[in-house]
Amino acid sequence: MDSAKSRRCSLSQSLFFPFLLFFSNLLTFYLSSSPFSPSFFSSTMTTDSVDINPTPSLPPEFSAFTSPKPLPLGYNPNIDSSTLHPPIGLPCLQFPKELSTYLSYTINSSCPDDELLAQKLLLKGCEPLPRRRCRPPSPKNFPEPSPLPQSLWSLPSDSSIHWSAYSCKNFKCLVERKHSKAFDDCKDCFDLNGREKTRWITPSSNALDFSIDEVLSLKPYGTIRIGLDIGGGSGTFAVRMKERNITIVTTSMNFNGPFNSFIAARGVVPLYVSISQRLPFFDNTLDIVHSMHVLSNWIPTKLLHFVVFDVYRVLRPGGIFWLDHFFFVEEQMEEYAKVIESVGFEKVKWEVGRKLDRGMEMREMYISAVLEKPLKNSW
């Protein structure tokens, strides 16, 4: 009899502990998922606070800009929130020393003269950079720009540029550096009476060299109206398109030269973003995207895949991607062709040829292509 009671007691105890464990887990799950859980209150308090300093080692301006900002009128259904979260590039915090220097300034005063620092941060992935509350360096005696159309093919005044970030201190130096043996990005881009004068205009016997008029003729007249030139140097592609009543925005970096200021002085629109940045245009909006030399084998293959898909995204159905002199070495042909072909473009023109200026033994190649986003069923 006692042994039977003992077995029943033992059974009850063995069942009690599993049930206790089950209900405690159930209670934990309920509390963690409840809108009134401790984590909910913690996140709510964090969201509504403006005094957060998530990285104490950085200057107060970092927190002042990046902390969530309560909207003055409360909840906004367009953003489904009562707060704004000002963005910065995710990698910014990987470079606290440079970021701290960039954000160390006097509010409502002049910014440090730090164009090189800002560009290095941006190219490392700190994009967008945090906004600042200071006035950027600028020329003391800035002149009125030349009027259109004169500005399209004339050098701006030296006094229109803040030169501290560049080895050249005037446009004469920039024009003449094409004769220098030292490396500089786009060395002859500032000589508007040199090769720039004939780019995309003069007929060529090289099958890789498409002309603007040749490419425009592939679409019904007047349907190419707006677009983007990725890595457009000094803006000559945009200038040539402007002469045809087509508006082109040009992305460019300032690699030892005032490329963005020069593009603007010519009367076309510069956009200071790197190749890593998501293109700041809405889906299905642009008629044409052009890129010469910038998209090439220096870009990691997976990143290039993202970039080409982003080009596809911003082009309207029927829009064209002019891939102009994409550089690679012969062994990479299959790899890069697969990346480009996987996106969904239709090939309108596709030319492959050798880059011979350094000799056949280098096995260097180019692809020039006109690719069309399908007019129908592009999704």
Assess if residue 145 is contained within a domain.
Answer: no
Q: Would the pLDDT of 320 be above 70?
A: yes
The stretch 103-131 carries a mean pLDDT of 97
Closest CA to 155 of 137, 173, 139: 173
Q: Cβ(281)–Cβ(267) under 8 Å? A: no
Look at residues 135, 168, 203 and tell me which one is the last residue of a structural domain: 135
The stretch 187-206 carries a mean pLDDT of 94
Percentage of the chain exceeding pLDDT 90: 79
What's the pLDDT at 55?
A: 55
Assess if residue 11 is contained within a domain.
Answer: yes
Give strand ranges (E) for 55-173: 69-70, 83-84, 109-110, 134-135
Which of 181-195, 211-225, 307-321 has the least mean pLDDT? 181-195
Q: What is the mean pLDDT of the chain?
A: 87
Residues 49 and 114 occupy one common structural domain? yes
Residues 130 and 230 occupy one common structural domain? no
Q: Is 307 strand, coil or helix?
A: helix
Residues 127 and 156 occupy one common structural domain? no
Q: Would the pLDDT of 293 be above 90?
A: no
Residues 2 and 60 occupy one common structural domain? no
Assess if residue 142 is contained within a domain.
Answer: no
CATH of the domain at 290: 3.40.50.150
The C-alpha atoms of residue 324 and residue 227 are separated, in whole angstroms, by 15
What's the pLDDT at 18?
A: 43
Q: Cβ(264)–Cβ(270) under 8 Å? A: yes
Assess if residue 240 is contained within a domain.
Answer: yes
Residues 158 and 24 occupy one common structural domain? no
| One-letter amino acid for residue 297 of the chain | N
Q: Cβ(199)–Cβ(209) under 8 Å? A: no
- DSSP per residue, 193-216: TTGGGTTTTS--SSTT---HHHHH
Give residue 56's pLDDT band: very low, low, confident or very high (50, 70, 90): low
Q: Give 11-54 pLDDT, tens digit per residue.
A: 444 444 444 344 444 443 333 333 333 333 333 333 333 333 44
Give residue 135's pLDDT band: very low, low, confident or very high (50, 70, 90): very high
The C-alpha atoms of residue 41 and residue 328 are separated, in whole angstroms, by 54
Q: Are strands 364-372 and 315-329 parallel, antiparallel or unpaired?
A: antiparallel
Residues 169 and 270 occupy one common structural domain? yes
What's the pLDDT at 358?
A: 82
Assess if residue 362 is contained within a domain.
Answer: yes
| Number of structural domains in the chain | 3
Q: Would the pLDDT of 228 be above 50?
A: yes
Look at residues 135, 166, 201 and tell me which one is the last residue of a structural domain: 135
What's the pLDDT at 357?
A: 82
The C-alpha atoms of residue 67 and residue 43 are separated, in whole angstroms, by 13
The C-alpha atoms of residue 22 and residue 243 are separated, in whole angstroms, by 75
Assess if residue 144 is contained within a domain.
Answer: no
Give residue 371's pLDDT band: very low, low, confident or very high (50, 70, 90): very high
Domain range holding 111?
Answer: 40-135
Percentage of the chain exceeding pLDDT 70: 85
Which of 1-5, 18-22, 319-323 has the least mean pLDDT? 18-22
What's the pLDDT at 5?
A: 44
Contacts of 254 (CB under 8 A, 6+ apart): 115, 119, 165, 166, 260, 272
Pairwise pLDDT comparison (204 vs 39), residue with the higher score: 204
Closest CA to 230 of 192, 277, 298, 198: 277
Assess if residue 379 is contained within a domain.
Answer: no
Give residue 187's pLDDT band: very low, low, confident or very high (50, 70, 90): confident
Residues 113 and 229 occupy one common structural domain? no
What's the pLDDT at 126?
A: 96
What's the pLDDT at 34?
A: 38
What's the pLDDT at 315?
A: 98
The C-alpha atoms of residue 360 and residue 356 are separated, in whole angstroms, by 6
Residues 281 and 156 occupy one common structural domain? yes
62-78 burial, b if ≥16 CB within 10 A, otherwise e?
bbbbbbbeeeeeeeeee
Residues 204 and 348 occupy one common structural domain? yes
Look at residues 90, 109, 135 and tell me which one is the last residue of a structural domain: 135
The stretch 63-69 carries a mean pLDDT of 94
Residues 269 and 284 occupy one common structural domain? yes
Q: Is 287 strand, coil or helix?
A: strand
Q: Is 81 strand, coil or helix?
A: strand
Give strand ranges (E) for the chain: 69-70, 83-84, 109-110, 134-135, 226-230, 247-251, 269-271, 286-292, 315-329, 346-354, 364-372
156 secondary structure, DSSP code: P
Residues 7 and 95 occupy one common structural domain? no
Give residue 185's pLDDT band: very low, low, confident or very high (50, 70, 90): confident
What's the pLDDT at 378?
A: 93
Residues 172 and 312 occupy one common structural domain? yes
Assess if residue 73 is contained within a domain.
Answer: yes
Residue the block writes with tokens 């087509």 = 246
